Amino acid sequence: MISKKMEKALNDQINEEFYSSYLYLSMEAYFEARNLKGFANWMHVQYLEEMEHGMKIYNYLNERGGTVKLGAIAEPAHTWKSPMDVFEQTLKHEKHITERINYLVNLAEKEKDRSAFNFLQWYIDEQVEEEGNDEEIIANLKFIGEDGRGLLMLDRELAQRVYTPPVQSNE
């Protein structure tokens, strides 16, 4: 059985993950409106990943005998100044999620919830990847600067990203 404190924290994280998916869907729409289909594709993959992250916690909470309590999802931003602004906001958001995951890991340790601690290790690794991806794109955008040709080349590269569902484990 999961503690009430851990249950609440995981429910809060489900909301954070679903908000993340909603934010990335909004960013996808921003790029679609600017005919940057590759950037839109990249954000669509992010949207799918974040939905999966939320559902993974949802399923874990159910498996542990907790009660899932879905809360309202806040309205995300829908305008940005530039692709660089979008990715700077993306990195800022992912750093926020990393802080939230670290809080959950610390709470699992405090609650002596070894199962939750083990479950959350995947999210720690995932956040390293998420922040790294954003930092790489920001570096590319800085290198490109105002060169529209470079932006279109990066757009083509981002169009190659494909969503790969995580391997299901027996958690």
- Which string of DSSP letters, residue by residue, matches the chain? ---HHHHHHHHHHHHHHHHHHHHHHHHHHHHHHTT-HHHHHHHHHHHHHHHHHHHHHHHHHHHTT------PPPPPP---SSHHHHHHHHHHHHHHHHHHHHHHHHHHHHTT-HHHHHHHHHHHHHHHHHHHHHHHHHHHHHHHTT-HHHHHHHHHHHTT----PPPP---
Query: Would you state the pLDDT for residue 167?
Result: 73
Query: Would you state the pLDDT for residue 114?
Result: 97
Query: Would you state the pLDDT for residue 171?
Result: 47
Mean pLDDT of 93-100: 98
Query: Would you state the pLDDT for residue 147?
Result: 87
Cα separation, 29 vs 43, in Å, equals 9
Q: Mind listing the domains of the chain with CATH numbers?
A: 4-158 (1.20.1260.10)
Q: Is the pLDDT of residue 168 over 90?
A: no
Query: Would you state the pLDDT for residue 169?
Result: 55
Q: Is the pLDDT of residue 170 over 60?
A: no
Mean pLDDT of 49-69: 97
Query: Would you state the pLDDT for residue 87?
Result: 98
% of residues, the chain, pLDDT over 70: 98
Query: Would you state the pLDDT for residue 144?
Result: 95
Q: How confident is the model at residue 116 (pLDDT cuts 50, 70, 90)?
A: very high
Q: What is the pTM of this model?
A: 0.93
Quote the tokens at residue 22.
Answer: 């909603």
Mean pLDDT of 89-109: 98
Return mean pLDDT, the chain.
Answer: 95
Mean pLDDT of 54-63: 97
Mean pLDDT of 122-137: 97
Mean pLDDT of 28-34: 98
